Amino acid sequence: MQTATMEQQNLKYADINWVDLGPNVNGSVQAGLRPCICVSNSRGLRYSEIAVVIPLTTAKKGRNLPTHLSIPASMGLGRDSVVLAEQLICVERKKVREHITNIANRPQLIEALNKCIKISLNMVEGYA
């Protein structure tokens, strides 16, 4: 059995880490090694080998979907990025790599992130 890295052991809600999403099997699905934000609750992460993450992209395709959230480069990402909440996925924690930053101390971003997730999961009226 492989020993967990510090990033895997210490993963928390709102952490942005590099995550190995594996090969691309569909042209629109994010793949490869890319930044992702962890949206699993921190307590559950202490016991689970699985984390729920959302990939980020730096590509600007002109689409401003209600499931997208802009994260400024100043948050430690190096480039302005977009959270793609419509691509919420489960990954094994062994796929989690280097820690980039955590946005838990930014309540406006957390509130906007939660709204994007709810819209993606059809939990907000008016977006069905």
Question: For position 1, what pLDDT does the model report?
Answer: 37
CA triple 101-110-79, angle to 5 deg? 40
Question: For position 6, what pLDDT does the model report?
Answer: 59
Residue labelled with tokens 């490869």? 32
User: What pLDDT digit, counting tens, does each position of 91-126 carry?
Assistant: 999 999 999 999 999 999 999 999 999 999 999 888
Residue 115 has which token pair? 């709204």
Domains delineated in the chain: 6-120 (2.30.30.110)
Half-sphere CA count of 120, side-chain side, radius 13 A: 18
Tens-digit pLDDT profile for the chain (128 aa)? 345 565 666 899 999 999 999 887 767 788 889 999 999 998 889 889 999 999 999 987 767 899 999 999 999 999 999 999 999 999 999 999 999 999 999 999 999 999 999 999 999 888 76
Q: Dihedrals φ, ψ of 111, to 5°? A: -60, -45
Which residues are bridge partners to 84 per DSSP? 68
Which residues are bridge partners to 70 per DSSP? 82
How many other β-carbons are positioned within 10 Å of the β-carbon of residue 104? Answer: 13
Q: Contact, 16 vs 55, CB < 8 A?
A: no
**pTM, entire model:** 0.89
